[in-house]
Amino acid sequence: MAGASKIAIGARSSVADLEPEIKKAAAEAGRPEPQVLALELDVSSEDSVRKAAEVIGTSFGDSLDVLINNAGYLETWLPVAESNPLDWWRSWEVNIKGTYLCCRYMLPLLLKSEGKTLINVTSAGAHNMSPGASAYQTSRFATCRFTEFVHHEYSDQGLVAIAIHPGGIKTELALNMPKAMHAILIDEVELPADMMVWLSKEPREWLSGRFVSCCWDVNELEGRKKEIVENDLLKFRMKV
């Protein structure tokens, strides 16, 4: 995050090589060198997440201003009757269980901070019906609803919880989609990075519990604040 003094990054594989890149980016931006904590973290493992939260709490003074849940998994696209059960369920283990576990063990740190911002990365796939992606798209739908639950349970303590679509980026996950869909991957990582800075640099209570796309213009979004709040927009609802 821009100007952050302490940054923790975690993944199943080593992320130690990112530390010099983060410090270099801070220097180029004229920012003080941040403390970087690189963790080997499996978000689908309760023990791994709990230990990571303990290390972060000890290293960062028992608080955390911003939590970004960015881990994701996309199963091989196949009709349900042809799918591999373990591969299918892995999307839910990472996308939902992983998000839940990180919230379960990091929320106490967030609630002790001034920032109190939770950003759960979901997908525009939460709104779509793409045959073959039944695990991924339902898990991303569930991520949006889970974010809304966290909002309702902790907004009275000042927590802001937002679910975001990061855009169409050529990540390893996205390239697991059928090749015919790769044409939609036209965005760069700077897009969600900039949006997450905007979302977390000051409290955005009016967006808490809602879905936000990084592809949207922030000035237009802010200009529709009154409409969004009064009509309770950017949430999943069933009209009958």
Predicted confidence (pLDDT) per residue in 20-49, tens digit: 999 998 998 899 999 999 999 999 999 999
Strand, helix or coil for residue 38: strand
Q: What residue ranges of the chain are covered by domains with CATH 3.40.50.720?
A: 58-230
pLDDT reading at 175 higher than 60 = yes
The pTM score is 0.94
Q: How much is the pLDDT for 81?
A: 98
Q: Flag the least confident range among 142-146, 180-184, 188-192.
A: 180-184
Q: Alpha-carbon distance 73 to 133, whole Å?
A: 11
At residue 10's C-alpha, the angle toward residues 162 and 174, to 5°, is: 65
Q: How much is the pLDDT for 15?
A: 84
Residue carrying the six token digits 């569930």: 142
DSSP state of 10: E
Highest CATH level, class, for 58-230: alpha beta
CA 8 to chain centre: 14
Query: Residue 187's pLDDT band (boundaries 50, 70, 90)?
Result: confident
pLDDT reading at 2 higher than 80 = no
